[in-house]
Amino acid sequence: MLTRFFRQDRITVYLLVPVLVLLLWPGAGTGGGGYHTAGLPAMRQGPEGMPLYGLIRPLLESSPWLSMALGLLLLAGLAHSLTRMANDSELYDRRTHLPVLLLPLFLALLPFGLVPGPAFIGMWAVVLAMGRTWTAVGHKGILSAVFDAGALLGIASALYLPYAFLIVVIWASLAVTRPMNWREYVLPAIGMAAVLLLCWGTVHFIEPQAWKPAASMHYAVDAPAPKPAHWMYGVVLIAVLAVLSISTVLSFAKVYTHSVMREKNIRASLLAFTFALGLLALFAWLLDHRIPPVLLATPAALLLTYPLLPVRRSLWDEAATWSLLLLACWARWAG
């Protein structure tokens, strides 16, 4: 029932998003503990982010309840943008709202996944940039589209600097979908550089010491560490994710094989996007032994939609989504 409800293309699915987030919110961390004791310290001692995040952070830290409300709105907005990007660019065989369900579930499975940090907020601009690029594929004049995509990546980078690396995904998408045109490769870089230079100039004029690109990616030394999960939770989580991963690979390969050329190109771009976010996650781990959860949850939500989209395996689909929901509740309420 849960999978079938979100599988449809109806705006009413968003009515369940607040209920879902409130169910998964306690602690905004791991092992329960309540938002007052986990989520807010995690935000205050998390990465400072770039200057654009510095404008948002005081508002998020002003009150636990205000932060929870803003987090709910940000998550709903990110889930909507992710779903719209996937549907408009025809990543799937038909329109669906399954990413609206899967994104909060995957975020809740990860430590502090629902805390609206710089990478979390910046992902919104990243998704818009990818959607702007992929929906323009197949059109003749896309110079404005790729410039807009670069500018959106600039906004994302002004929140979380490593997102600047994702310009390679735009270049990869152009490489697999269009003949070589040097202007289409230069304009995204110009758009991103223009936003970052404008941001740097403004910060340098108002408060020069606030521009610390290297420090923007580091957690504080006394940042709260995730509580160790119960060993049984780890075993069950690994088993469920292993089954879902195998199903995702098989389903994606089957869909890719039967796709027309344009669909193959878009889905190849999705793989490039997933690989690039994986590299950013690896970089974050090597840098600080912490991975922003949204870097893993976003591609996971997009890819797991493939095995859940067909309607002929309703029992398996429901078992998969309910398993994720129960594991997410376990991670939030246990302890």
Determine the pLDDT at residue 157: 92
Determine the pLDDT at residue 35: 38
Determine the pLDDT at residue 188: 95
Instruction: Tell me which residue of 143, 117, 125, 52 sits closest to 284, measured CA to CA.
Output: 117
Residue bearing tokens 């952070």: 57
Q: Give the total number of structural domains in the chain.
A: 1
Q: Is 187 left (phi over 0), alpha (psi -120 to 50) or beta?
A: alpha
Determine the pLDDT at residue 18: 80
Q: What is the tens place of the pLDDT at every residue in 73-122?
A: 888 899 999 999 999 998 998 889 999 999 999 998 888 788 888 899 99
| Rounded CA separation 251/269 (Å) | 17
Return all residues near 284 (Cβ < 8 A) that are at least 6 apart: 162, 217, 290, 291, 292, 295
| Rounded CA separation 155/197 (Å) | 11
Point out the residues of the chain with pLDDT beneath 70: 26-49, 215, 220-231, 312-314, 334-335
Q: Tokens at residue 43, please?
A: 């935000």
Return all residues near 282 (Cβ < 8 A) that are at least 6 apart: none
Q: Is 197 left (phi over 0), alpha (psi -120 to 50) or beta?
A: alpha
* DSSP track, 170-217: HHHHHHHHS---HHHHHHHHHHHHHHHHHHHHHHHHH-GGG--TTGGG
On whether the CB atoms of residues 115 and 26 are closer than 8 A, the answer is no
Q: Hey, is 26 helix, strand or coil?
A: coil
Q: What is the tens place of the pLDDT at every residue in 202-246?
A: 887 887 777 777 767 777 655 566 665 666 878 888 899 899 999
Cα 76 from chain centroid?
12
Domain that holds residue 62: 2-333
Determine the pLDDT at residue 147: 95
User: Longest Cα pair distance anywhere in the chain, in angstroms?
Assistant: 60
What's at 164, amino acid-wise?
Answer: A
| Rounded CA separation 4/220 (Å) | 43
